[in-house]
Chains A and B, each alone.
Chain A
Amino acid sequence: DQQVKQNSPSLSVQEGRISILNCDYTNSMFDYFLWYKKYPAEGPTFLISISSIKDKNEDGRFTVFLNKSAKHLSLHIVPSQPGDSAVYFCAATPGGTSYGKLTFGQGTILTVHP
């Protein structure tokens, strides 16, 4: 039972354009959402997060949007740079006493072409 899904295994964009990575979830108890970036053979690094009480959070070139009614979140990267090429994972947690239990999506491979 995949509670967090990233339905696009890969995404290819041109440098300078917008990258949009999508994530859907099924568990209505999820209260906090995170995006991680991962290079091959390395650990993921935290990018940005959003609480369920918000619908948008920005940090520099990265913006995360949350649509609770649709159980959907997306990560926008503007402008995209070749160094953004990596695997992106979304993750979700119910929070509270389960704050540490992150459920990850399968990941989306982003390739940004110069």
Chain B
Amino acid sequence: DGGITQSPKYLFRKEGQNVTLSCEQNLNHDAMYWYRQDPGQGLRLIYYSQIVNDFQKGDIAEGYSVSREKKESFPLTVTSAQKNPTAFYLCASSAGQGSSEQFFGPGTRLTVL
């Protein structure tokens, strides 16, 4: 059963701590993405990767870091430098070159206390 897995569904952290959000896909997709959604706003692109071992900053990359060591995995680290980390984080993937249709995971709700 192919899809995108994000874990955990809900995550709580203390201010000043780094936290890593997991994203795994078994769709054999080349490209993966991280978005952030805040109340009343659309999705904003944080980072994306079109191929293993390569990634690019999106529109709001400051305070975040990623890695793409495996095709199936694209973890996102929310660092203490992110001023307002509490948000709903969504991971997505797409088949790759020429394919704009993205498939999304269920999301992780991060709350920083």
Task: Report A's interface with B, CB cutoff 8 A.
Answer: 4, 6, 9, 32, 34, 36, 41-46, 49, 89, 91, 93, 95, 99-107
Contacts and interface: CB of A to CB of B under 8 A. Distances in A.
B2 interface: no
Q: Chain B interface mostly helix, strand, loop or mixed? A: strand
Name the residue among A32, A43, A89, A95 with the largest chain B CB count within 10 angstroms: A43
B45 interface: yes
A104 B100 contact: no
B90 A44 contact: yes
A93 B42 contact: no
Interface string B79-104: 00000000010101010011111111
Contact of B106 (A43, A49, A95): A43
Contacts of A107: 41-42
Contacts of A46: 101-103
Given A100-B50, A101-B58, A89 B100 contact: no
The contact size tier of chain B is 20 to 34
Contacts of B99: 99
A104 B104 contact: no
Interface of B: 4, 6, 9, 31, 33, 35, 40-45, 48, 50, 58, 88, 90, 92, 94, 97-107, 109
Given A104-B42, A104-B43, A49 B90 contact: no
A103 B106 CA distance: 19
Given A41-B109, A43-B92, A100-B94, A49 B40 contact: no
Given A100-B31, A101-B48, A44 B43 contact: yes
B24 to A, nearest CB: 14
Contacts of A103: 45
Contact of B107 (A41, A91, A105): A41
Contact of B42 (A4, A41, A45): A4
Contacts of B31: 100
9 contacts: A32-B100, A41-B9, A43-B90, A49-B100, A91-B43, A100-B33, A100-B94, A102-B43, A107-B42
